[in-house]
Structure 1
């Protein structure tokens, strides 16, 4: 019996070393994503097209997110069917991390917008292979009653990854050096997880025959047959669209709306650190409390309301003090949301044999907002009310998402 099947059958909790290694690998993925997203891509857009920096950033991030939206479920489904001796998930973690590092190196060498697009699309393609495999390892290995705790530690790794990525991009000494620092960190961070070699193994005899039609059809999960999965997908999409709108233009918000007089890169780093501070204070404890109570929805609903309040502060209090307060509040809400919503999602997956694919479909709700956020944000900032309207919209999206969580019936 494989390790993952043994854990599921006995309910045995995973060890702290495995959770730590998984969290560190996940942290590396987020460093590879958010060093570029928080600062480096914006700086390249400003360098190559100073008169159209917002539109260029929207183009680059939108195309990359489109790649992510396809790559995550495809690689998740491929990992479900992988029969390597090392396991179903680990080979994709290795390949994805290596490819992501190569894409970051290409970005460091980029001298034009097309080169930036190519490098960022490679980063998104490869790191989504790694992320899909790491995410699927949780329902493979972790009993349901412990998933809030593990989701909390993954939330810690996410926010620390954003913070570390932002810090590396800020202090490395230039755009190229920032990309290389993020690449090195991502590769090193995955090594403990790979060397641990704890993974589920699928025998060739158990792998279903491959047919393109059934493989592609599997990515459509009918919300009429699986309504809770459909509502979980929609609420996650709305929450992530709100968060993407809130964070993607933070650098320009500080320079153009707040008129931050010091170095704006440092301002973004400070706000990210404050957000991380309050997030870390809630992310693990909320997951543990959710596990103990057996309830998920109340935590997710309340966290959505807190996120909405934070974004509305950004809309109405456009000062450095307002940005600081909003960042602190946003961290509280997103900390609770990150851990408990992940546990909720693993509880509504339609089939155990397709966890990688189904979580990949869920992760479209993470990637699609990155496509839509710049498409929405650019005209709102330019023509429809500026940053007041933009962050007001973000608050409304989080509010609607938190309300719709109540439609999920099979989870308390």
Structure 2
């Protein structure tokens, strides 16, 4: 008997919820996942990009950067805990409604409740509480939505679907900016509209797609053992560690380059209408991201190669950050926006496929992807703190975008350590 035969036999004995998927997902399923991701990221980034900065300025105009950094930083700490813990809980859920769907809907409702709190917040304390509730709910939803990709999508489709997930994230950002700067201009109305969209997107996905349940008699490890396994040893799983580090640096560079764009347009570029300027930048960014994500997703799945596209995306995103490092003007912003978009879209097209390939165990997909999502979320904690220091002491916005360039370029070095992926 060959060494591959016992592995194939073990795979065949897994319940359907844990087995490697082989059936291609259909456009209807993909579309609903795409819409749910748009709603999720709109609920996170419309506040981060526009509503929270405006609310911070309204509550304390003299210390708006500090208030914004404090609120987003504390909320991001909550997200770091919520993502792997909700993922862990969903891995162990044996509901007849499935493992992921109950947590997806519960997370959306909790996130919407937090957005309502923000709409009513009259001081920084309530604002902070509201944002923490949003981060807890929506990051729980993120853990389970991300897990549906390895649960349902075969290897040969993962770059295309991963690209659409990345496009959903950025399109949610762009549509969120449009929603709260053009369609709804009141602060409370913007928060409430985000809450409705989050719930509708999650409900459509949960109610219109199947979620494979674990068998009732499937044995589960004790909670103590599972919680101890939250740590994944870089020595035992080096590819996981290298991929995590690359993902972390890419997202840190992106956060440093995008979190303070509204203030950048106001205070450095002196654009006469910063809200409209941000909308234009995000529009260019979004169109370029869709092009990069769809094109690279197709090329990567067709060739079976992932890493070359990471290298290319790193170079493009670094050029975008360097453009704003040396030229803090409106024309430079118009050049940097599509460069960053096409680079980030290309990266996301292959990122999820790479990260899924290095997961240690099928039985703990959501927990492990929750740990990977920390690489997406931890920059939300660090970026405001680092940006505050850089803006005050290390060169202002030139220093901030320079740091984004260095951080992004360093990610390309880390991806070379991943051996399982071509």
TM-score, normalised on structure 2?
A: 0.95
Quote the offset at 1:169 in angstroms: 1.5
Task: Confirm or deny: 8 A CA contact 2:17 2:214 kept in the other structure.
Answer: no
Over 3 Å counting, the alpha-carbon distance change for 1:162 and 1:3 in structure 2 is: farther
The CA deviation at 1:198 is 1.1
* Partner residue, 1:297: 307
C-alpha displacement of 1:246? 0.6
Matching residue of 1:116: 127
Distance 1:248 1:120 in 2: 16
1:162 corresponds to 2:173:
yes
Secondary structure at 2:217 match in 1: helix
Partner of 1:282: 292
Please, which runs of 5 or more residues in structure 2 have no aligned partner? 1-13
Between the aligned partners of 2:269 and 2:300, the Cα distance in structure 1 is 38
- Picking from 182, 194, 209, the partner of 1:182 is 194
RMSD over aligned Cα atoms: 1.3
| Equivalent of residue 146 in structure 2, options 135, 149, 166 | 135
Equivalent in the alignment of 2:203: 191
For residues 233-283 of structure 1, what are the alpha-carbon distances to aligned partners after superposition, in whole Å with 9 as ceiling and x for unaligned?
00111110000011110011111111112x211111111111001111110
Which residue of the partner structure matches residue 368 of structure 1?
378
Q: Displacement, 1:5?
A: 5.4
Distance 1:382 1:174 in 2: 31
The alpha-carbon deviation at position 287 of structure 1 amounts to: 1.0
For residues 144 and 200 of structure 1, the distance between their equivalents in structure 2, rounded to whole angstroms, comes to 18
SS of the counterpart of 1:195?
helix
Deviation at 1:211, TM superposition (A): 2.7
- Measured in 2, the distance between the counterparts of 1:27 and 1:2 equals 31
Residues 91 and 393 (structure 1), Cα distance of their counterparts in 2 relative to 1, 3 Å cut: same
Greater Cα offset, 190-199 or 389-398? 190-199
Q: How many residues align?
A: 408
Q: Per-residue deviation at 1:215? A: 2.4
Q: Which runs of 5+ in 1 are unaligned?
A: none
The Cα of 1:2 is off from its aligned counterpart by 6.7
Partner of 2:399: 389
What is aligned with 1:106? 117
**SS of residue matched to 1:204:** coil
**Aligned residue for 1:248?**
259
3-state secondary structure, aligned to 2:122: coil
Measure the CA separation in 2 of the matches of 1:51 and 1:3.
Answer: 57
Contact 1:65 1:124 in 2 (8 A): yes
Conserved 8 A contact 2:87-2:367: yes
Q: C-alpha separation between the residues in 2 aligned to 1:195 and 1:264?
A: 40
2:337 corresponds, among 316, 321, 327, to 327
Q: Displacement of 1:382 after TM fit? A: 1.1
Structure 2 Cα separation of the partners of residues 152 and 235 of structure 1: 17
Deviation of residue 49 (structure 1)? 1.1
Deviations 1:92-111 (A, max 9, x none): 01100011111101100000
